[in-house]
Structure formats: C-alpha cells, structure tokens
C-alpha cells in the first residue's frame, strides 16, 4: 500500500556507541519502508562514538546509498534534544520519525504510525507502551518512544523545549498539548523488542556487514 506520493519520512537516529545495533536497525527500517511503499531517508547523528559506530554508518551508506542514509555526525556527546535539532536541519522529509537505535522498538510499527497520522490528520503520533497482557506500562523516563511529527511542528517544539536528554521527550508532549497540537496514539507492545537483552557480538556484526555488502554487490 503506497503512501501519498508527496509524503517523505525522515528518520532521526541519534547514536552513541551503537555499532552492534546500527546495521540491524537500519536494515529493518529500510525493509519496513520499502514494504510499505513510503518514501524515506535515515539521518544518523552520531555523537563522536569511540566504538566505531561512525565507520559502521559509512558502510551502511555505501550499501543503501547516500540518498537514503545521511551521516550527520557531531564531534562529541551533546545530548538528545540537540541531536534532533541538528538532524532536522538536514531532513528533507515533511514528516519526521524519532526512534532509538538501541532496538528497544521494532521499526515494523512505523507504518501503523503513518496510517494513524493519515486517518486523523494528526500533528504528532506517539507510541503508547503496553505490557504484553494489554495493561499500560506507564512512563519511565528511560523509556524512549517512537514518535512521528509533522516537520514544522517538531521545529516549533524544539525551539520551545529547554530540557536535555530523556526528559526532552516528555517535555515535547507537554508543550505540544499546551500549543494545541493534535496527538494520535498507537499502542506498541513493550515486550516486542527485536531480540532480548542478548546483543550480537562485535565480530558477528562485522561478518553480518560483510555479508550484506557481498549480497548487495551480487544482487
């Protein structure tokens, strides 16, 4: 089901020491957008990770192309709020998706956010966390959520927000309500991580990348 030709979604992906997760999250994002037929770009904002995240990001850019993967690094760790502001300057989409590179959410939920936005013409669509049994999980500051914003709404909100780090996400919604923006909600299950606490080891990820590169070189 293709989206309106005019809509483009810019995913802002702030990273710090995410070399193990980044290839997987990008692969899942690309697959999700291609399957749903939505135009997209992924903006990776790395805050000077010492673990080689940026090198991995460069490999991904080679694999998927610099029109789909935009590397917009910063010299050091400058906080989540400013990462979004920085990423937005480079976004060409009219909608912005904010999510985390740590695989706490599966990108497969994104098409539901897009559908929800269209359905109610919302300014913002936010994920509401549910426990597996359907109970609401509640807010924990460390729990970052997937969000979809109209670009101009996110620009307005980031101008108004003063918090840094995780609180920034909370403040954005509070300010959005104050400013009268409409907010749709999509229930996403808390348990639906891409995989459990186990992370792929560094060597596995390197061979995964090599495999990807080979695959793309041969297909």
Report how far residue 188's alpha carbon sits from residue 137's, in angstroms, rounded to the nearest whole number.
Answer: 10
Closest CA to 11 of 118, 216, 22: 22
Q: Residue 35 CB: number of other CB atoms within 10 A?
A: 11
Q: Which fold has domain 8-218?
A: Spore Coat Polysaccharide Biosynthesis Protein SpsA; Chain A (3.90.550)
Q: What is the pLDDT along the chain (219 residues), one digit of tens a residue?
A: 444 568 999 999 999 999 988 999 999 999 999 999 999 999 999 999 999 999 999 999 999 999 999 999 999 988 888 898 999 999 999 999 998 888 777 788 899 999 999 999 999 999 876 655 555 555 444 456 789 999 999 999 988 887 766 677 778 888 999 999 999 998 876 554 555 444 445 565 566 666 666 666 655
Return the pLDDT at 158.
87
All structural domains of the chain with their residue ranges:
8-218
Structure tokens at 28: 């899942």
| Sheet of strand 95-98: strand arrangement | 69-71, 39-46, 8-15, 95-98, 147-150, 124-130, 183-189
pTM, two decimal places: 0.83
């Amino acid at each position: 089901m293709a989206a309106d030709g005019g809509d483009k979604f810019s995913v802002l992906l702030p990273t710090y020491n995410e070399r193990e997760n980044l290839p997987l999250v990008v692969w899942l994002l690309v697959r999700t957008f291609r399957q749903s037929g939505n135009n997209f770009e992924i903006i990776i904002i790395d805050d000077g990770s010492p673990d080689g995240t940026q090198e991995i990001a460069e490999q991904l850019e080679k694999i998927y192309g610099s029109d789909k993967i935009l590397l917009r690094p910063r010299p050091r760790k400058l906080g989540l709020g400013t990462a979004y502001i920085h990423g937005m300057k480079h976004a060409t989409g009219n909608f912005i998706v904010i999510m985390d590179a740590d695989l706490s959410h599966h990108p497969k939920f994104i098409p539901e956010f897009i559908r929800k936005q269209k359905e109610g013409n919302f300014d913002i669509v936010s994920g509401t966390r549910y426990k597996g049994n359907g109970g609401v999980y509640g807010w924990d500051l460390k729990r970052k959520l997937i969000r979809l914003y109209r670009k101009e709404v996110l620009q307005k909100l980031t101008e108004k927000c003063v918090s840094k780090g995780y609180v920034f996400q909370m403040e954005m919604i509070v300010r959005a309500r104050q400013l009268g923006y409409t907010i749709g909600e999509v229930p996403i299950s808390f348990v639906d991580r891409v995989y459990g606490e186990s992370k792929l080891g560094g060597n596995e990820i390197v061979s995964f990348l090599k495999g990807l590169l080979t695959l793309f070189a041969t297909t």
